[in-house]
């Protein structure tokens, strides 16, 4: 980790904000292969299997109990839930309440099988690719950056060893403990431990270069789904955990990305505000701002990048 900080400092002049990004690279990788990752996968396999077994028992129970209570006529089918038509009577009573409880338990078993089964496939996809969702997003942005500037370089994700079997063996071992100490991980041939960090730093620098300055022309309260900004703005509110920011007329914002009716950016703070907070960023409606003349002539709107993906 100290080498990582020194490398980032030499590349970017000791900027503290960039150093935090450099630390994030190893933290993300450290959080992926935890000591209990294999146990989580085992639970995501055994839980659906147990629920499938329980569902089979519930289905067979309802089938046998209802079969002994069915009576067929010429045009009707009757179900008598009071008692079974067999001698001797079943040991376990099965009335209407028991039938409802069994049906409810069957629904829970099937729902758990689907939910936990999907979790298993997602986890296995991450393990076989040796790549978390955040790292996949970083790789996608790296390809977009190279294509946008038409650079003669190729970004290779360093932690994907090039073989699914090799990636699989990183987590599943005979000892039950994943490989690695939480800080240093095997990397692909031709890469080095700081490939992902350097790419993140490049993306942060590119993000600042490609940001577009906007001026606030109407106040915005910071609500999630504003009713007074139009129907389309209301129904297209971004479904993310990222915050909304309050805007006041006359303020300036650097937009880094956006949708058709929403933008995301950092508020340009005054010197008096900078003493209390270091950064204010979030989503805001597009119709509350207008592009500054200097950026309107030279820059493209942030949504252009989104639409071309």
Tens-level pLDDT at each residue, the chain (309 residues): 434 333 333 333 333 333 344 444 444 444 444 455 667 888 888 999 999 999 999 999 888 877 767 666 667 666 665 555 555 555 567 778 888 899 999 999 999 999 999 999 988 988 898 888 888 889 998 998 898 888 888 898 998 888 899 888 888 878 777 777 767 788 888 888 888 989 999 998 888 888 899 999 999 999 988 988 899 999 999 988 889 999 999 999 999 888 999 999 999 887 655 566 678 899 999 999 999 876 555 555 444 444 443
Integer angstrom CA distances of residue 43 from 109, 147, 191, 281: 15, 41, 34, 39
From the candidate CATH numbers 1.10.10.10, 3.40.50.300, 3.90.1150.10, 2.30.30.40, the one assigned to the domain spanning 211-291 = 2.30.30.40
Integer angstrom CA distances of residue 235 from 231, 239, 260, 261, 307: 6, 10, 12, 10, 19
Q: Global pTM?
A: 0.60
Which residue, 162, 229, 152, 226, is CA-closest to 191? Answer: 162
Which residue, 93, 112, 100, 98, is CA-closest to 54? Answer: 112
Q: Cα(132)–Cα(188) distance, rounded to whole angstroms? A: 16
Which residue, 204, 193, 123, 202, is CA-closest to 157? Answer: 193
CA angle 263, 269, 272 (to 5 degrees): 155
**The predicted structure's pLDDT at residue 80:** 61
Q: Which two tokens stand for residue 90?
A: 């079943």
**The predicted structure's pLDDT at residue 308:** 40
Rounding to the nearest 10 degrees, give the CA dihedral for residues 54, 58, 61, 63.
Answer: -130
**The predicted structure's pLDDT at residue 215:** 93
Integer angstrom CA distances of residue 110 from 104, 179, 281: 10, 35, 42
Q: Cα(130)–Cα(148) distance, rounded to whole angstroms? A: 27
**The predicted structure's pLDDT at residue 58:** 93
Integer angstrom CA distances of residue 161 from 37, 103, 130: 19, 47, 8
**The predicted structure's pLDDT at residue 12:** 38
> Strand 252-258 and strand 212-216: pairing?
antiparallel
Q: Cα(253)–Cα(291) distance, rounded to whole angstroms? A: 10
**The predicted structure's pLDDT at residue 263:** 94
**The predicted structure's pLDDT at residue 72:** 62
The domain spans of the chain are 31-74+91-129, 134-203, 211-291
């Amino acid at each position: 980790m100290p080498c990582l900080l020194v490398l980032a400092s030499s590349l970017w002049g000791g900027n503290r904000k960039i150093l935090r990004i450099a630390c994030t690279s190893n933290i993300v990788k450290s959080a992926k292969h935890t000591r209990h990752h294999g146990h989580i996968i085992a639970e995501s396999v055994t839980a659906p299997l147990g629920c499938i077994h329980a569902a089979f028992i519930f289905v067979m129970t309802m089938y046998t109990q209802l079969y002994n209570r069915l009576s067929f006529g010429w045009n009707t089918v009757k179900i008598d839930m009071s008692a079974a038509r067999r001698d001797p009577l079943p040991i376990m009573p099965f009335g209407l309440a028991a039938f409802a409880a069994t049906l409810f338990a069957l629904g829970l078993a099937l729902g758990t099988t689907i939910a936990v089964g999907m979790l298993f496939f997602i986890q296995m996809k991450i393990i076989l690719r040796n790549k978390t969702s955040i790292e996949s997003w970083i790789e996608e942005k790296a390809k977009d950056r190279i294509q946008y500037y038409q650079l003669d370089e190729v970004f290779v994700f360093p932690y994907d060893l090039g073989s699914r079997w090799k990636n699989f063996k990183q987590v599943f071992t005979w000892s039950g403990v994943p490989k690695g100490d939480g800080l240093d991980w095997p990397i692909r041939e031709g890469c080095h431990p700081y490939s992902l960090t350097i790419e993140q730093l490049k993306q942060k620098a590119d993000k600042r270069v490609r940001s577009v300055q906007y001026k606030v022309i109407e106040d915005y309260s910071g609500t999630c789904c504003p009713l007074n900004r139009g129907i389309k703005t209301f129904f297209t509110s971004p479904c993310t955990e990222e915050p909304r920011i309050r805007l006041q007329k006359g303020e300036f914002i650097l937009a880094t990305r956006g949708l058709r009716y929403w933008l995301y950016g950092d508020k340009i703070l005054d010197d008096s505000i900078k003493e209390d907070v270091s950064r204010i960023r979030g989503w805001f409606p597009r119709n509350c701002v207008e592009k500054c003349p200097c950026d309107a002539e030279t820059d493209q709107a942030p949504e252009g990048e989104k639409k071309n993906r």
